[in-house]
Structure 1
């Protein structure tokens, strides 16, 4: 797994769920149901204070795990990525690239 931060373009559906990703000049399609969670960030390092009632985006990062493949190559191998969504700015960042896999993500309800 490689951990870093890089700006990426994300095209979400009408509910905010990522469906397409632009990364390194290539277009990827999300090939399995994405998984979303929130991670606590060290907001006190970047902000002076946390305003009352403002948590999402300031205190927590919205993280999505995606399995993507090149949009032009239906037989391309799946790549598992974690991306963060900054709700205030609308920006998306690629934060982790996992080892390549051939099986869709499995998650429990």
Structure 2
């Protein structure tokens, strides 16, 4: 598994769920129901100060785990995306080992 941080473009449903993403000049389609959770971030190391009244997005990161592929013949990739809600910025933070598809 690779852990890093790289900007990606994400297209979401009206409810905010990722549908497609653009990474390294290629467009990926989400092929399974994404999973969302929140992770605590080290805001004290990343921010100069916490502004009064600012809470959403300061303490926790919204994380989405998606399974995506380029086209119907390509391999499914499992990716973790971090969403900075207040700025609507997305970053790819983890690429998991390749999933082997089982043929029936």
Q: CA RMSD in A?
A: 1.4
Structure 1: segments with no counterpart, 5+ residues: 104-109
Tell me what 2:6 maps to: 6
Structure 2: segments with no counterpart, 5+ residues: none
Q: CA deviation at 1:15?
A: 0.4
Aligned residues: 101
User: Counterparts of 2:53 and 2:98 in 1: how far apart (Å)?
Assistant: 40
Q: CA deviation at 1:52?
A: 5.7
Q: CA deviation at 1:76?
A: 1.0
The alignment's TM-score, normalised by the length of structure 2, stands at 0.89
Q: CA deviation at 1:53?
A: 5.3
Q: SS in structure 1 opposite 2:8? A: strand
Q: SS in structure 2 opposite 1:81? A: strand
Q: CA deviation at 1:49?
A: 3.8
